[in-house]
A and B are shown apart, each in its own frame.
Chain A
């Protein structure tokens, strides 16, 4: 099974029915796979904080939700993560492309990369880093942990992970 199929299969297995995305080149394959799934409602959002609002609403409507976005979005969403997702105890898996790591061709991406883990740590957001293709095997347990704890959880997926996928 490809990594993209495995990620979407784990989302479905964990009852995720509502996914919002803001695209990244590294995430194109998984977004295509989300689109192909009949059991997930895919709602692209224009900005990641908007997407988190959509997820919060769907979650209160009884549908488990997830967001797929780039790590640059951490800079966009800190207020929403703190005053909506964390303040109201809303479970939110965040599948994040970790741009600016080894293999990155675009220099500017390294600027947010160096802040990504520090920001997530400052926000007390449980953070997992997928570097090798096999790291995806932990996704199922991460999703279960996220919905059990009713917290946002970050899954950083770097270029090496996608290269090996």
Chain B
């Protein structure tokens, strides 16, 4: 399975959740397959999906899933100790690890070579780190949501992309409708 197939498989689970989605193809694929006000699409700023997701989870009660990539986590490695030391049990970090920089032409990342993001997350002090096969992502994600514990999921999948259009929504529109959704959930 490639990333777009993983995303497709988890849409029934994430469609009504607050989702912070990584820059580039992951956001474009999610936008194409299941655009929702509860999705925050990153249009720039590689590496910060996990940081935005953690900040959001710490600031309000609803569950937050940050969808990240191996390349992005490598870019912002400092995020893992911060996550480990600021536990938010409404936060799930889903790292879709295809061992490549998918949005830029599938150049290999070190996560696809000798570096294990699962081992790094554990070494940083993250308590619930689950590595899974792409086919099992939906099951593992549902278990993580049911556990009510902060969880880092490292989904190992194949490299590859589908053609998708860029997102032409304005950033302030993405933010505004997302914040209205966050507010409604916390007031409800």
Please list the residues of chain B having a beta carbon within 8 angstroms of any beta carbon in chain A. Answer: 20, 40, 42-45, 47-60, 76, 78-79, 81-82, 86, 171-172, 174-175, 178-179, 182-183, 186
Chain A residues with Cβ under 8 A from B20's Cβ?
A: 57
Which residue on B lies nearest to A61, using beta carbons? B59
Residue of B with least CB distance to A82: B44
Residues of chain A lying within 8 A (CB to CB) of residue B86: 43
| Chain A residue at minimal CB-CB distance from B187 | A62
Q: How far is the CB of B35 from chain A (nearest CB, A)?
A: 17
Partner of A84, one of B45, B50, B53, B60: B45
Nearest chain-B residue to A80 (Cβ)?
A: B45
B82 contacts A43, C-beta separation under 8 Å? yes
> Which residues of the partner chain B approach A139 to less than 8 Å between Cβ atoms?
none
Q: Is the interface of B mostly helix, strand, loop or mixed?
A: helix
Q: How many angstroms from the CA of A82 to the CA of B182 in the assembled complex?
A: 24
Q: How far is the CB of B36 from the nearest CB of chain A, in Å? A: 15
Establish whether residues B47 and A54, one from each chain, have CB atoms under 8 Å apart when the complex forms.
no
Docked pose: A65 CA to B60 CA in angstroms = 13
Q: A87, B82: Cβ atoms under 8 Å?
A: no
Listed by A's residue number, 7 A-B pairs whose Cβ atoms lie within 8 Å are A49-B76, A50-B47, A50-B78, A56-B48, A56-B55, A60-B182, A62-B59
Q: A43-B82, A49-B48, A84-B45 are in contact. Are A61 and B182 (CB under 8 A)?
A: yes
Give chain B residues whose Cβ lies under 8 Å from the Cβ of A55.
55
A62 CA to B61 CA in the complex, in Å? 11
Q: Which residues of B contact A63 (CB under 8 A)?
A: 59-60
- Nearest B residue to A54 via CB reads B55
Query: Which of A18, A50, A62 contacts B82, CB < 8 Å?
Result: A50
Q: Is the pair B59, A58 in contact by a Cβ cutoff of 8 Å?
A: yes
Chain A: number of interface residues, binned into ranges: 20 to 34
Across the interface, which residues of B come within 8 angstroms of A17, CB to CB? 59
Q: Which chain B positions have C-beta within 8 A of A60?
A: 40, 52, 55-56, 59, 175, 178-179, 182
A147 within 8 A of B: no
What is the distance, in angstroms, from A102's C-beta to the closest C-beta of chain B?
32
Q: Are the C-beta atoms of A89 and B59 separated by less than 8 Å?
A: no
Contact of B55 among A46, A57, A87 (CB under 8 A): A57
The smallest C-beta distance from A158 to any residue of chain B, in angstroms, reads 27
A87 lies within 8 A of B60 (CB)? no
Q: Give the shortest distance, in Å, between B84 (CB) and chain A (any CB).
A: 11
A53 adjacent to B52 (CB under 8 Å): yes
| 18 more A-B residue pairs beyond the given contacts A55-B55, A57-B59, A63-B59, with a C-beta to C-beta distance below 8 A | A18-B59, A43-B82, A43-B86, A46-B78, A50-B79, A53-B45, A53-B48, A53-B51, A53-B52, A53-B79, A56-B48, A56-B52, A58-B55, A60-B182, A62-B183, A80-B48, A84-B48, A88-B172
